Structure 1
Amino acid sequence: MSKSISYFISGLLLGGLLATLGFVLFVRTLDSGESGNAQTVLKLGHGLDTGHPVHKAMELMKTRLEELSSGQISIDIYPGAVLGSETQCIEQLQNGSLAMTKTSAATMENFIPQMAVFSLPYIFRDENHYWKVINGEIGQELLAQGEEKLLRGLCYYDAGSRNFYSKSRPIKKPDDLKGMKIRVMNSSTAIDMVKAMGGSPTPIAWGELYSALAQGTVDGAENNLPSFTTNKHYEVCKHFTLNGHTRVPDILMMSAKVWNKLDPQVRDWLLIAARESSDFQRELWQQETAIALEKAESEGVTIYEVDTEAFAAKVKPMLQNIGNSDVRKLAKKIKAINE
């Protein structure tokens, strides 16, 4: 055989190896022992710590998937952003090198524009309205919107209501935001919201926020109570305002490349386990929110209950001039849903 033909065959073999590398990266097959059966293990990466309700829910999902599949399918969970940031993990889903990740619906705006509806301020009347929407037709349709971007939503996790907190002075009314630099997620909707209320929005990665607050890069931020206390932002910020401007859920996303390679039975098991983890996480979240409130107060944080109508009035023009037609239609549908 000539050298040129030998090189050609070697190139074909190498190409085949590279083509399957993505699948090998997101899943590994293990010998299960005496039975001789192979076990498929899916990789799940996220940026939360192991004490977070979402991580605990994922551990339940792992256990339930193993039970449903009689040990055929399992999940390796990599917390603490060891596999990258939210955006980096999403990109790994798209190329098939990661099976699942947790992401905020706000982050998903950059991949699925319709997700921006969750970041619209005061789009939900209350918690009951919120859950009716995301567990209903609208919420389930949004989970499927990422197929073209090689992303598939499995379930939602509760991330509570987002509220303002600050260092030097309290935020009791929208005018108090004037002249204040407020950290927001990298979401155009969140940026527009803070601008509408009179503040100066500053996108900063979540992992960098504590330092940014301590160093005065920003004057405050906005998030839920458990995130505020878990990350010890109470050490820097002593004012927390319960204005509840948004309810942006977390989403368990899966690589469509990975999903499409799974057996239909495995998909069913995975969906069952994911939905059970969502219900479990919702209960945990309510408990953690109550604990977080007590913790914040014990650390000297003043909690302010305010007139949310004043904040809602500031963003009303924003809701009346939604640029994306799909988001505008979704917002109209959400508003029309009765409790």
Structure 2
Amino acid sequence: MGKLKKLNLLLVMLVAIVLVACGGNGGGEEGAEGESASSGEAKTIKLAHSGSESHQYHIAAENFKEVLENKEGTNFTVEIHPNASLGSEGDAIEQVISGSLEMTTVAADSNLSNTIPEMNAFGIPYIFDDKDHVYSALDGEAGENLLSLADDKGMKGLGYWEVGFRHLTNNSTEVTVPEDVEGMKIRVQPATVWEEHMRALGANPTPVDFNELYSALDQGVVDGQENPLPTIDSMKFYEVQDYVSLTGHTYTPAVVLMSNSFYEGLSEEEATAVEEAVVEARDYQRQTLDEKEEEILTKLEDEGVTITEPEREVFREATADVKDAVSDEVPEEIVQSLIDSKE
């Protein structure tokens, strides 16, 4: 029995030694796991958008990819899917909400306004004076409040990239006053505010998905459309539109959205890296597009496009009641907060 007791004691001691060793190694294993989170298998972000490889969306998306993939302490791979290859903007929003797509960037006042009605604010004519006014609003409290509305829709609003100030184009005549647009079939984004906007000018608003717009213009489904100069250039709308009127009637931000389910699975360090990369891409894109606009105007003229600069005040007066038509979706205080953001 004495020998048996000694054997049992030896077994207890061995178990204790093993447990201590496992406890010590446990700290090392956690460290290894922490290390693998940053240097092991990368987290993949699929970022889908509807623009071409030279569109504003893609300029920002590529910079975001470069910045994020080179962030120290995190390990991400960003896969960019342009040209609506994963579906329209409406499809991308639904996929982000469901969690089947990690990230997208979409026009604020288009399909997104069907999910977040307050985004119709960006389709209200002439609430911004210039880009300084826009950036003050988007980068400040007014923009942040609008962005936070995505939280209740299964999405994380990460920030704003740029689409730009929008201008009218058509294939039949110079547009210098609202009467010149009367009766034209103008493609609009699928949002209430845009239908009211074009009706105020006497045009016939015709919803067309962005990825189908070129063919709709080419085939005469619509007579014209409205978009920023970089969009007109990158999507080659100048090939099927002979006239550009620099109305500058609204400014469209590109809202950067991430699936809540993906975002909430990020560590604090990873979430910070993503957010910082969005801001860096925003600043890079703004500077790049600002430098390109004069070049685009010259290019359009070389392509034989007639460019006119109408009196914007006449267009402002003609569309003054648009904000009232969407007041149920866009409270006055939201519109006023954007207007009052001017420094």
Length-normalised TM-score, structure 1: 0.86
- Whole-angstrom CA distance in 1 between matches of 2:195 and 2:182: 14
Match of residue 279 from structure 2:
275
Q: Secondary structure at the match of 1:165?
A: strand
Q: Indicate yes or no: 2:153 matched with 1:143.
A: no
Counterpart residue number, 1:59: 62
CA distance in 1, matches of 2:251, 2:122: 7
Q: 1:38 aligns to what SS in structure 2? A: coil
The one-character-per-residue Cα deviations of 1:297-334 (angstroms, maximum 9, x if unpaired) are 00111110110000000111223454226532111222
Give the secondary structure class of the aligned counterpart of 1:145: helix
Q: Which amino acid aligns with 2:286?
A: R
Runs (5+) with no aligned partner, structure 1: 1-31
In structure 1, how many angstroms separate the alpha carbons of the residues matched to 2:321 and 2:55? 36
Please state how far the C-alpha of 1:71 moved relative to its aligned partner.
5.3
Q: Which residue is 1:328 aligned to? A: 332
Q: 1:243 aligns with which of 239, 242, 247?
A: 247
Structure-2 residue corresponding to 1:177: 181
Task: Kindly state the Cα deviation for residue 278 of structure 1 after the two structures are TM-superposed.
Answer: 0.4
* Residue aligning to 1:128: 132
Q: Is the 8 A contact 1:174 1:311 kept in 2?
A: yes
> Structure 2, unaligned stretches of length 5 or more?
1-34
Aligned mate of 2:80, from 74, 77, 82: 77
Residue 24 of structure 2: aligned partner: none
Measure, in 2, the Cα distance between the counterparts of 1:40 and 1:281.
24
* Structure 1 equivalent of residue 261 of structure 2: 257
Is 1:103–2:102 an aligned residue pair?
no
CA contact (8 A) 1:175 1:197 kept: yes
Deviating more after overlay: 230-239 vs 247-256: 230-239
Distance in 2 between the 1:156 and 1:247 partners?
Answer: 12
Matched with 1:292 is: 296
Which ranges of 4 or more aligned residues in structure 1 deviate by more than 3 Å? none
SS of equivalent residue, structure 1 residue 306: coil
CA contact (8 A) 1:119 1:190 kept: yes
Q: In the alignment, residue 114 of structure 1 is paired with which amino acid? A: E
Instruction: State which of 90, 100, 103 in structure 2 corresponds to 1:87.
Output: 90
The superposition leaves residues 85-134 of structure 1 with CA deviations (integer Å, 9 ceiling, x where unpaired) of 11111111011011001100012111111111111111112221111101
Measured in 1, the distance between the counterparts of 2:313 and 2:101 equals 43
Q: Which moved more, 1:213-222 or 1:91-100?
A: 213-222
Farther off after superposition, 128-137 or 284-293: 284-293
CA distance in 2, matches of 1:319, 1:130: 18
Choose the corresponding residue for 2:211, options 195, 207, 220.
207
Take 1:93 and 1:167, find their aligned partners in 2: how far apart are those partners?
Answer: 36
Compute the RMSD of aligned alpha carbons: 1.9
CA contact (8 A) 1:116 1:327 kept: no
Residue 343 of structure 2 corresponds to residue 317 of structure 1:
no
Change (3 A) 1:62 1:232: closer
Distance 1:326 1:234 in 2: 33
The two structures have a TM-score, normalised by structure 2, of 0.85
How far apart, CA to CA, are the structure 2 residues paired with 1:201 and 1:300?
Answer: 26
CA distance in 1: counterparts of 2:230 and 2:312, whole angstroms: 21
1-structure distance, mates of 2:249, 2:161: 18
Aligned-residue identity in percent: 35
Give the match for residue 51 of structure 2.
48
The 8 Å contact of residues 155 and 275 in structure 1, kept in 2 or not, is answered as yes
- After superposing the two structures, state which structure 1 stretch, 89-98 or 63-72, moved more: 63-72
User: What amino acid sits opposite 1:205 in the alignment?
Assistant: D
Which residue, 213, 230, 247 being the options, matches 2:234? 230
Aligned to 1:124, the other structure's residue is in SS state coil
Q: State how far apart, in whole Å, the 2-side matches of 1:321 and 1:182 are.
A: 19
> 234-243 vs 53-62, which deviates more?
53-62
8 A contact 1:180–1:199 mirrored in 2? yes
Residues 42, 322 of structure 1: alpha-carbon distance in 2 compared, 3 angstrom cutoff: closer
Q: Once the two structures are superposed, what CA deviation does each residue of 1:207-265 show, in whole Å capped at 9, x if it has no partner?
A: 22222222222111111112112222222211100011100111111111111111111
